[in-house]
Structure 1
Amino acid sequence: MKDTNGPAWRKSSRCGTSTCVEVAKVDDNYLIRDSKNPEAAALTFTKAEWDAFIEGVTAGEFRF
């Protein structure tokens, strides 16, 4: 039976069939996990950390 009390994980629409990260919001924290290994521990970020990450992505800081 599926756990209905767990986080609502979301995957990017760009993932397709490849490995992706999944994101869930729980209270004021954001959780990140590997879609191929959902049983492993998730990384946890505060709202401030998540906002700084999104700002960096939007600004193109992570482009190679």
Structure 2
Amino acid sequence: MDLIEELQNAAWRKARKSGPNQGNCLEVAPLSGGRVGLRDTEAPERAPFVVSASVWDAFIEGAKKGEFDF
């Protein structure tokens, strides 16, 4: 399966705390090779970002440590 097909068939999900309005959220989807797809819920037709497992892990670790808190 190529990346485009994989993204079209991906199991996209968003945070439970984002609410039912479908707006202002990011969705993520696990992909082959440990990669992660990221897309905007307001524009799911746009090409998503795809990051490596190490980039995703660093982001999650930083979020847990509060590195992105204002």
Task: Give your verdict on TM over 0.5.
Answer: yes
The total of aligned residue pairs comes to: 60
CA RMSD of aligned residues (A): 1.1
Aligned amino acid, residue 26 of structure 1: L
In structure 2, the gaps of 5 or more residues are 1-7
TM-score, scaled relative to structure 2: 0.80
- Aligned with 2:64 (options 46, 58, 62): 58
Identity of aligned residues (%): 42
After TM superposition, which residue ranges in structure 1, 4 or more long, deviate above 3 angstroms?
Answer: none
Higher strand share: 1
In structure 1, the gaps of 5 or more residues are none
1:15-54 paired onto structure 2 within 5 Å: 15-16=18-19, 17=21, 18-27=23-32, 28-54=34-60
